[in-house]
Amino acid sequence: MTELKLSESRDLTRIERIGAHSHIRGLGLDSSLEPRDVSEGMVGQAQARKAAGVILQMIKDGKIAGRAILLAGQPGTGKTAIAMGMAKSLGLETPFSMLSGSEIFSLEMSKTEALMQAFRKSIGVRIKEETEIIEGEVVEIQIDRPAVSGAASKTGKLTLKTTDMETVYDLGAKMIEALGKEKVQSGDVIAIDKASGKITKLGRSFSRSRDYDAMGPQTKFVQCPDGELQKRKEVVHSVTLHEIDVINSRTQGFLALFTGDTGEIRAEVREQIDTKVAEWREEGKAEIVPGVLFIDEVHMLDIECFSFLNRALENEMAPILVVATNRGITSIRGTDYKSPHGIPIDLLDRLLIITTQPYSEDEIRKILDIRCQEEDVEMSEDAKQLLTKIGHETSLRYAIHLITASALNCQKRKGMVVEVQDITRVYSLFLDVRRSTQYLMEYQKEYMFNEASIVDGADADAMHD
Let me know: does 382 contact 353? Beta carbons within 8 Å: no
- pLDDT(310) > 70: yes
Give the model's pLDDT for residue 381: 92
- pLDDT(1) > 70: no
Say if residue 449 is exposed, middle or buried (CB neighbours under 10 Å; 0-12, 13-18, 19+): exposed
Q: Which residue has the higher pLDDT, 306 or 21?
A: 306
Give the model's pLDDT for residue 14: 37
**Residue range 393-442, pLDDT digits in tens:** 998 889 999 998 999 999 998 888 999 999 999 999 999 999 998 888 88
CA 170, distance to chain mean position in Å, is: 45
Give the model's pLDDT for residue 426: 93
Give the model's pLDDT for residue 307: 92
CA 202, distance to chain mean position in Å, is: 30
Residue 85, CB half-sphere, CA atoms under 13 Å: how many?
25
Give the model's pLDDT for residue 88: 82
- Distance, in Å, from the CA atom of 151 to the CA atom of 164, rounded to the nearest integer, reads 39
- Distance, in Å, from the CA atom of 243 to the CA atom of 245, rounded to the nearest integer, reads 5
- pLDDT(7) > 50: no
- pLDDT(261) > 70: no
Say if residue 234 is exposed, middle or buried (CB neighbours under 10 Å; 0-12, 13-18, 19+): exposed
Let me know: does 410 contact 380? Beta carbons within 8 Å: no
Give the mean model confidence (pLDDT) for residues 167-188. 83
Give the model's pLDDT for residue 201: 85
CA distances from 289 to 65, 85, 98, 304, 314 (A): 10, 19, 17, 28, 17
pLDDT category, 325, cuts 50, 70, 90?
Answer: very high
Let me know: does 121 contact 242? Beta carbons within 8 Å: yes
Point out the least confidently predicted range of 105-109, 122-126, 165-169, 247-251: 247-251
Residue 146, CB half-sphere, CA atoms under 13 Å: how many?
8
Let me know: does 167 contact 174? Beta carbons within 8 Å: no
Give the mean model confidence (pLDDT) for residues 148-165. 76
**Residue range 333-377, pLDDT digits in tens:** 989 999 999 999 999 998 989 999 999 999 999 999 988 988 888
**Residue range 64-103, pLDDT digits in tens:** 667 889 999 988 888 888 888 888 888 777 888 888 888 8
Residues above pLDDT 90, as percent of the chain: 19
With CA atoms as reference, report the closest residue to 434 among 370, 385, 383, 390: 390
- Distance, in Å, from the CA atom of 450 to the CA atom of 196, rounded to the nearest integer, reads 69
pLDDT category, 124, cuts 50, 70, 90?
Answer: confident
- pLDDT(54) > 70: yes
CA 255, distance to chain mean position in Å, is: 22
